[in-house]
Amino acid sequence: MFTKERAVTGDEHGKEADVIVKEEQIRKAIVNRNPEAMEWVMNQYAGLLWTIAHSILQHVSNEEIEECVADTFFTFWQQPEAFQTERSSLKNYLATIVKHKAIDRYRKINRRSEITYEEHIHSIETEDVLLQLIRKENDIELDQMIHSFPEPEREIMKRRFYNGQKPHEISEDLSLHVRQVHNKLYRSRQRLKTWWNDRK
């Protein structure tokens, strides 16, 4: 259903109309929580958003840039109604979001104080309780939300909460540093916590 090819029409106006119709279909699919539509959007625009974020976050780790891109997709998944096809293309809409998020992240990086690794792990353990409560109350929507995460966050969350793997086991299976696994788990939980609080 969601392919990169675009139908060829007789003139530019026809092409623009085709794009608007296609993007409206994508928007509606995401409103209806279609994970395939979200996956198509991520595959289509991840490279562009990464380039924009990197142009602002030039002196930070690739992980920070990846998180910025992931936050952009998460925002679109949460609020697809905010995208209006008659006002902007999906490409420009996502580009604007990632630009603002990159600027915000740049400011936070410059002023935030680092928490210790032990505090970081403690906060992760606290969040585990919240995630278990969410699963009990709304397992289907939680599944959809986790499925919308980019890789490797999606795989890490699945292994942690559905397969019961420990962070060190996940790090070995995915060839990631254990601290990187902890960081991605923490940030994924934060996104889920925000989503859950917004639903109340």
pLDDT, tens only, 80-111: 999 988 888 999 999 999 999 999 888 877 66
Boundaries of every domain in the chain: 12-111, 117-199
Give yes or no for residue 166 having a pLDDT over 70.
Answer: yes
Residue 171 clears pLDDT 70, i.e. is over it: yes
Amino acid at 183: N
Residues 6+ apart with CB under 8 A from 103: 56
**What pLDDT is stored for residue 82 in this prediction?**
93
At 72 the pLDDT is 93
| Secondary-structure class of domain 117-199 per CATH | mainly alpha
Distances (CA, A) of 62 to 21, 31, 41, 98, 147: 35, 30, 21, 15, 22
The helix (run of H) or strand (run of E) holding residue 167 is: helix 167-174
Q: In terms of DSSP H, where are the helices of 32-166?
A: 35-56, 62-78, 90-111, 117-137, 139-147, 153-161
- Least confident piece of the model among 12-16, 77-81, 162-166: 12-16
Q: 12-111: what fold?
A: Rna Polymerase Sigma Factor; Chain: A (1.10.1740)
Q: Which residue has the higher pLDDT, 162 or 8?
A: 162
Dist CA 50 CA 74 (whole Å)? 14
Q: pLDDT by residue (tens digit) across 23-72?
A: 889 999 999 999 899 999 999 999 999 999 988 887 777 888 888 999 99
The model's pTM: 0.53
pLDDT at 128 over 60: no
